[in-house]
Structure 1
Amino acid sequence: MAAVQCELACDAGCDLGESPIWDAATSTLYFVDINSKRIHSYSPASGAHRTIQLEQPIGTVVPTSNPNILLAALEASCLPSLADCLDAWLARDIVEVDVAAGTTGRVLATTPEEHGVDGMRFNDGKVSPQGTLLVGRMHCKWRDGQRGRLYRLDPGSSQLVEVLRPEEVHLPNGMAWDEAKGVVFYVDSGAETIVECQTDGQGVMRRGEDGSLLARTVSHAPTQHKHVPDGMAIDTDGNLWVALGESGSVVCYDAQTGKELRLVGLPVKRPTACTFGGEQLEHLYVTTRVESGKAASPHHGGLFRLTIPGVKGVAAAYPFPL
């Protein structure tokens, strides 16, 4: 098997790098640093690296039909102080971000008040091939059993509609679509599973006549949350690439059988998410988070680029129509 090439693409120094997404319209790789409240942009052609500093943490970003505008899911702090709870009450929004100005603009939608605020934050999100945003919320005490939700935001709507209820998902995470098969895959980090769901006309999880999800579990690899499956991408062969938190690796699964096909080691211990990028989607970009202590890896918190012979990705940065 040909060797994988791994290189540091951008020494971003993230505290919690997440949500990488390749914007083909601008040939830009966007990702976020949740804890530092920053959106990062990286241009492989020039090597240019820019950050946008916001006032609130960002769970995820996605491109839109306007190349100068991103959507950002602003989230709440996990600290249980009254001040943070008040901030959280204001930080449940999907907002526009002007890339050039580095400022937030119009609020497109807000999570329902009855779904809670304290301890909740936005997590990963992506736009379906049909243009609907799917975005998850997680509870900061998810390791203690607290559960999240998954929402949809349809084009032209101002309502975040619940797709997966707390009893159906523990910690919603990375998503990927196989359009030919009419399915969407998502990671449930809390359950340590990858799930395949049939989709409706907007690429969103579909239910049967009895109200149950038309879904199956692709993979369940319990580690008692030692190595948590996180962000995910899909390649042209339909295989799923998943960043395994705290494992120092990215794993490739057969989407039909759930069999582990390949494990790719990284020069850092804490990968978080991955996406295919490059003009031919020939690279797998991996975000990482901070490490501490004398054994910390060089360039932890950086953005890494994998070139895997014979592997190319499927477009993931479907734009949200504005």
Structure 2
Amino acid sequence: MWAGHLKVTAGYIRLCNLLREIIHVAFSRERSTARYCTTMSSIRIETVVKEKNRMGECPVWEERQNCLVFVDINSQKVCRWDSNSKEVQCVPLGTMAEETAPGVRARRQGALYTLFPDCSVLTQLEEVDISNGLAWSLDHRTFFYIDSLAYAVHAFDYDIHTGKIDRCSCRPVYKLEKEEAMPDGMCIDTEGKLWVACIDGGRVIRIDPETGKRLQTVKMPASRITSCCFGGKDYSEMYVTSATDGLGKVALTKEPNAGEIFKITGLGVKGVPQQYFTG
């Protein structure tokens, strides 16, 4: 368990507060079987949750129970996939309201917050478009951050003792190319390389934050790829969320796997365990 501070977006704060309670709640259960499976060289991609998510997001590996916890934002629920039983369990969240104007992007209305263990909140960044992917360097001295409409990954100096980032140290790490579309969720591997989910780009890319180079591209069977995390018993598996919202009827017929949760194996690298909130 990491004894530092947790950097969160506004929506992520609610999830952190709920996760400890959700594990003990009586879930509605559905059996999930793999629908999609493909192999590219040593890399294998398969569906682990075939039920469609309107906006699957925020995958978190719960190693104590070998489960993947994720949210479907627009369906207002938190879900858990058990890697042993293959069951999907969901809890509806009545506190999550429908968007009044879904898909409308209000510029510079977002922010980045830190929620401390004593439940105090610090505003780290303001006038953000879409506050999104978060990751720390292996030495916890650098904070990596995605504001999606900036179409880039940025880095900040981070003080592990205070939990604060240095705004003046902001620097670009990687600028997405046209075919990669928009960056969304992000995670880091044990080699210090970043993995970025590209929504509308249908891929997950691996980048080197030191050189700014893209090292690898894994194309997915859905275009609206939202986030990713490492998991499994040795963190050698990657779990990827996707969405159906934003796709029209014609696009949905061409993407039968849209909205599913995928597992990637054979990447040749392992991920860093999740940092638990100590509050």
TM-score by length of 2: 0.78
In the TM superposition, residue 29 of structure 1 has moved relative to its aligned partner by 0.6
Equivalent position of 2:148 in the other structure: 189
Alpha carbons of structure 1 residues 5 and 193: separation in structure 2 relative to 1, 3 Å: same
- The residue aligned with 1:247 is 201
Q: Where do residues 1-322 of structure 1 align in structure 2 (5 Å cutoff)? A: 2-57=41-96, 77-79=98-100, 141-142=104-105, 145-157=107-119, 159-166=120-127, 169-180=128-139, 182-202=141-161, 204-207=163-166, 212-221=167-176, 223=178, 227-290=181-244, 291-296=247-252, 297-315=255-273, 317-322=274-279
Q: Which residue of 2 aligns with 1:103?
A: none
The answer to whether the Cα contact below 8 Å between 1:2 and 1:309 also exists between their aligned partners in 2 is no
Question: Offset of 1:32 from its aligned partner?
Answer: 0.4
Task: Report SS of the residue matched to 1:299.
Answer: coil
Q: Is the 8 A contact 2:181 2:200 kept in 1?
A: yes
Is the contact made by 1:28 and 1:42 (CA closer than 8 Å) also made in structure 2? yes
Identity across matched positions, percent: 32
Inter-partner Cα distance in structure 1 for 2:91 and 2:118:
26
What's the CA shift for 1:171?
1.9
TM-score, with normalisation over the residues of structure 1? 0.68
CA 1:248–1:222 in structure 2 vs 1: closer, same or farther (change >3 Å)? closer
Q: Is the 8 A contact 2:140 2:160 kept in 1?
A: no
Letter in 1 for 2:147: D
How big is each residue's C-alpha offset from its partner over 1:10-69, in whole Å with a ceiling of 9 and x where there is no partner?
A: 113110100101111222110000000010101112212100011133xxxxxxxxxxxx
In structure 1, how many angstroms separate the alpha carbons of the residues matched to 2:248 and 2:42?
30
3-state secondary structure, aligned to 1:12 = coil
RMSD across aligned positions (CA): 2.2
Gaps of 5+ in 1: 58-75, 81-118, 120-139
For residue 148 of structure 1, what is the amino acid of its counterpart?
A: G
Give the distance between the partners of 1:205 and 1:9, measured in 2 at CA: 37
Q: Structure 1 residues 177 and 155 mapped into 2: Cα distance closer, same or farther (>3 Å)?
A: same
SS class of match (2:114):
strand
Structure 2: give runs of 5+ residues left out of the alignment.
1-39
Contact 2:180 2:198 in 1 (8 A): no
- Does the C-alpha gap of structure 1 residues 214 and 251 become closer, same or farther in structure 2, counting only changes over 3 Å? same
Runs of 4+ in 1 over 6 A off after TM superposition: none
Distance 1:170 1:203, change over 3 A: farther
Mean Cα deviation higher: 170-179 or 4-13: 170-179
